[in-house]
Amino acid sequence: MSKNSPHFVKKLIANVGNESDYVKRSVALFLNYHPINEFEPFFESIGLEPSEFSAFLPRNLMFLSDEVGLLDKYHVLCKYGIARVQMGKIYREAREVFRYDKGVLQSKLLGFEQVGMRKDFISRAVRFNLCILINGINEEFLELVSRLKCLGFENSLFEQKFFETTSYNWRQINHLLQLLLQYLGCRRCPGILFDHSGRRRPALLLIGFLLKFGCSRSDICSILLRFPQIKVEKFVWNLRRAFELLFEIEMDAVNIGRIIREHFTWIGTCRVMKASYLLCHLRSGKIHLRQIIVANPLELKKWTLGAKIERVPETKEIRLQRDRNLRIKFLTSIGFVENSKEIENVLKICRGKGEELPERFDLFVKAGISESDVTKMIRRAPQILNQSAEALEAKINVIVNELGYPVSKISSYPKVLQYTMDRVKVRCAMHRWLLEQFVVRSTLSLYSIIGSTKSCFVNTFVNRHPLGPQVWQEYKLKKANSGQY
């Protein structure tokens, strides 16, 4: 023990001096009056550092013989080939192993042999996964090994899987095995049984995923038996990523389920890109992307991480969707609420190109109408935005500069911009003539003059003067080929 406790020996020598002729006698004399704590060299000899074992030193004990069974457990572990320096790890992480009643530890190790495990495997297993010696976990571990042997699995397969990870949860693996046997009828358990079947439970998530998308028991059993060479955790992650892509492009549940069932294997082995990235780089709308995938799900293989993205040819649907998005962006910028009933009604009427709408808005502002009043105009008559900026500018110029109306008349009756300028000019000319004849008021609104129907205008204004019909016909003849009025 002292040979493997250099720190303890160095500390002891420091107390008695280091003259070679007197070291042995000095140590013996020192120990007569200063008995040592035997736990210190013991803990150091099994691989614990002094800073670690200080917390483990018993308060009222000095000699190893006082700790009943401690050395017995040490010798049992040595018998099974557990290296001395590894015992410190066992004491640190599974201290209860050294406190078992007499014969308990021996019986646990014999239990491993009884299920066919070799001593060298038991030694490696204990070093690799200490929990198999702990009560409860030990029984679950042995139960799993026994059940696998009953199913015809060789210990070599189990031993190979055992050393791939230290995160096994034996209870969950037992539950998964029971699920595979009783519910799915799958007796030839695949490698997924040991594939990170710990706290994350990816195998159970995988089965739940398949059931959610309509796979039958026989389908799931068949899938698991021909499971690809990939970690289940990664496979489930890839499936979830593909599902998120299909969900984000608003694909219906029926098609999502069909695609995942029919192309389950390769979807789980491919890491597809995110929907936002695809839509941006493909320059495609959600509708078009859905159509492509539904028609040929294998197209998803082209959109995996690391693959070169080739843009989808722009279709009418893509152009319409992009223009709609621009119109929504413009309308929300001037005060409309996105996804509201009001904005949907405006979108149905407003067919102007989304990229040109800001220019048309600015045109009204430059003409002297405040931004708030322009917004009110658009709410009352969204169709005015369907005209080009040049046409709007020409109409404003006629109404304000030629006919002499203030710009406020346009903001109070924006629909005047919907009519042809020939109609506006003819009716305004007729109104001025009637004013000169003192048969109408000068305070009439543009709506009364321009917005009324042809028959109403004739009955209300033209026929109020005996020469009115004749003058009206003369004005109409001048503009006969210019448009309707």
DSSP-assigned letters across all residues of 428-451: HHHHHHHHHTT-S-TT--HIIIII
Residue 227 has pLDDT above 60, yes or no: yes
411 and 336 in a single domain? The answer is: yes
| Residue that is written with structure tokens 């969900």 in the block | 247
Q: Among the ranges 23-32, 94-103, 157-166, which has the highest mean pLDDT value?
A: 94-103
Give bridge partners of residue 304 from the DSSP assignment.
272
Could you count the other beta carbons within 10 Å of the beta carbon of residue 36?
14
Q: Are 280 and 311 in contact (CB under 8 A)?
A: no
- pLDDT for 480 equals 53
339 and 404 in a single domain? The answer is: yes
448 and 409 in a single domain? The answer is: no
Establish if 437 belongs to a structural domain: yes
pLDDT tens-place string over residues 108-149: 888 888 888 888 888 888 877 778 888 877 788 888 888 887
Average confidence (pLDDT) over 233-255: 90
Residue 462 has pLDDT above 60, yes or no: yes
* CA–CA gap between residue 219 and residue 217 (Å, rounded): 5
410 and 426 in a single domain? The answer is: no
Q: Among the ranges 16-25, 217-226, 275-284, 372-381, which has the highest mean pLDDT value?
A: 372-381
Tokens of 435: 């004013």
438 and 469 in a single domain? The answer is: yes
Residue 166 has pLDDT above 80, yes or no: no
* CA–CA gap between residue 168 and residue 125 (Å, rounded): 12
Chosen domain end from 389, 418, 447: 418
- pLDDT for 161 equals 67
Could you count the other beta carbons within 10 Å of the beta carbon of residue 456?
11
Average confidence (pLDDT) over 395-408: 85
Confidence of residue 172 (pLDDT cuts 50, 70, 90): confident
DSSP conformation class of 272: B
398 and 442 in a single domain? The answer is: no
Establish if 477 belongs to a structural domain: yes
Establish if 310 belongs to a structural domain: no
Q: Among the ranges 15-19, 60-64, 154-158, 246-250, which has the highest mean pLDDT value?
A: 246-250
Judge residue 390's burial from the number of C-beta atoms within 10 Å of its C-beta, 0-12 exposed, 13-18 middle, 19 or more buried.
exposed
450 and 461 in a single domain? The answer is: yes
Could you count the other beta carbons within 10 Å of the beta carbon of residue 311?
9
* CA–CA gap between residue 361 and residue 372 (Å, rounded): 11
Could you tell me how far CA 292 lies from the centroid of its own chain? 23
* CA–CA gap between residue 112 and residue 133 (Å, rounded): 10
467 and 442 in a single domain? The answer is: yes
Judge residue 136's burial from the number of C-beta atoms within 10 Å of its C-beta, 0-12 exposed, 13-18 middle, 19 or more buried.
exposed
Establish if 172 belongs to a structural domain: no
Residue 266 has pLDDT above 70, yes or no: yes
Establish if 27 belongs to a structural domain: no
- pLDDT for 51 equals 80
423 and 412 in a single domain? The answer is: no
402 and 339 in a single domain? The answer is: yes
Q: Are 223 and 264 in contact (CB under 8 A)?
A: yes
* CA–CA gap between residue 170 and residue 206 (Å, rounded): 18
| Residue that is written with structure tokens 């000068």 in the block | 442
Establish if 98 belongs to a structural domain: no
Establish if 385 belongs to a structural domain: yes
- pLDDT for 248 equals 92
Residue 19 has pLDDT above 50, yes or no: yes
Average confidence (pLDDT) over 445-464: 85
Chosen domain end from 366, 399, 418: 418
Residue 373 has pLDDT above 60, yes or no: yes
CA-closest candidate to residue 328, choices 313, 341, 312, 344: 344
392 and 437 in a single domain? The answer is: no
Confidence of residue 483 (pLDDT cuts 50, 70, 90): very low
CA-closest candidate to residue 53, choices 36, 68, 41, 65: 41
Q: Are 380 and 414 in contact (CB under 8 A)?
A: yes
- Rounded to 10 degrees, the C-alpha dihedral 478/437/452/455 comes to -70
Establish if 16 belongs to a structural domain: no
pLDDT tens-place string over residues 328-351: 888 888 888 888 888 888 888 887
Three-state secondary structure call for residue 228: coil
Confidence of residue 308 (pLDDT cuts 50, 70, 90): confident
Residue 394 has pLDDT above 80, yes or no: yes
Chosen domain end from 399, 418, 437: 418
- pLDDT for 196 equals 54
- pLDDT for 485 equals 43
Confidence of residue 318 (pLDDT cuts 50, 70, 90): low
Q: What is the pLDDT of the chain when averaged over all its residues?
A: 82
Q: Which domain holds residue 373?
A: 330-418
413 and 334 in a single domain? The answer is: yes
Q: How many domains does the chain have?
A: 2
Q: Which of 311 and 384 is assigned the larger pLDDT?
A: 384
pTM over 0.75: no
